[in-house]
Copies of this chain bind each other. A is one copy, B any other.
Amino acid sequence: MRDIKLSESQPKQRLLAAAEQLFAEKGFESVAVRDVTQLAKANVAAVNYHFGSRDRLVALVVARYLAPFNQERLDRLDVLERRAPSKVVPIEEIIHALIRPLVGMVGKTELSEALFCKLLGRILALPEEALSAEVVEQMKVSNNRFMRAIGKVLPTVPQEDLQWRMHFLVGSLVHLLTHQDWLRSLSNGTSGSPALEVMLGRFVRFAAAGLREGVEIEVSAPTGPQALFDF
């Protein structure tokens, strides 16, 4: 063998690319093997030959993006905590660590920005049963570390509340990623390209406000309790 196998590389990668595009557009459940092979201009048997089975193909796509995503999340949290070992990190920074790995990954894909967002959104929305045991473990580790980090930044709000608020946050995130096209048109009224950046910026502000609800940081605030509406 002189080089990397050429014969194998072409159709397999075409299949993978086609699968990712279709999964992003229609969701994992709504894509038939024949849809993939047709878009990739390959034979029906190609998926099973190259990937073993349909399930192993989706598992591959999932792990391919979820693993690096979680890894960079943790890396960013690392540098955040290393940079301010004892100081308090703004929640905004933590949320950035949670979602900005996305923008680094869109650059490495053949998929369009919007499509990749959809794909990742669909991945994050998968039920546990659809994920491999290792990926589930990765997710739990990541979630735990971020929960602790946020608990450190917002010590006054009970752990239980924080868990719920994080729950709301991921809900917003999944919805944002999978349905971002609904509102995309509004954001590119102004020139530039960074529609994604603007979107994420809005999300970070929304989520940060929600997470720190009831905590008085807002510079002013001379008076005390301000429990607003607790009926």
User: Which residues in A have some Cβ–Cβ distance to B below 8 Å?
Assistant: 29-30, 90, 92, 160-161, 163-165, 167-176, 179, 182-183, 186-187, 199, 201-214, 216, 218-223, 226, 228-230
Closest Cβ–Cβ distance, residue A124 to chain B (whole Å): 10
- Given the interface pairs A218-B218, A226-B219, A229-B92, the reply to whether A167 lies near B186 with Cβ below 8 Å is no
- Minimum CB distance partner of A90 in chain B: B229
- Given the interface pairs A220-B216, A220-B223, A223-B219, the reply to whether A206 lies near B171 with Cβ below 8 Å is no
- Is the Cβ of A175 less than 8 Å from the Cβ of B167? yes
Which chain B residues border A183 with CB–CB below 8 Å? 163-164, 167
Task: A197 to B230: give the CA distance in the assembly, Å.
Answer: 11
- Is the Cβ of A209 less than 8 Å from the Cβ of B213? yes
Which chain B residues border A221 with CB–CB below 8 Å? 218-220
- Minimum CB distance partner of A230 in chain B: B201
Known: A169-B172, A210-B210. 7 other contacts (CB 8 A): A29-B30, A90-B228, A92-B229, A161-B202, A164-B186, A204-B229, A216-B220
- Given the interface pairs A90-B229, A209-B212, A213-B209, the reply to whether A179 lies near B202 with Cβ below 8 Å is no
| Best-buried of A186, A187, A205, A212 by chain B (most CB within 10 Å) | A205
- Minimum CB distance partner of A93 in chain B: B229
- Is the Cβ of B168 less than 8 Å from the Cβ of A176? yes
Which chain B residues border A175 with CB–CB below 8 Å? 167-168, 170-172, 174-175
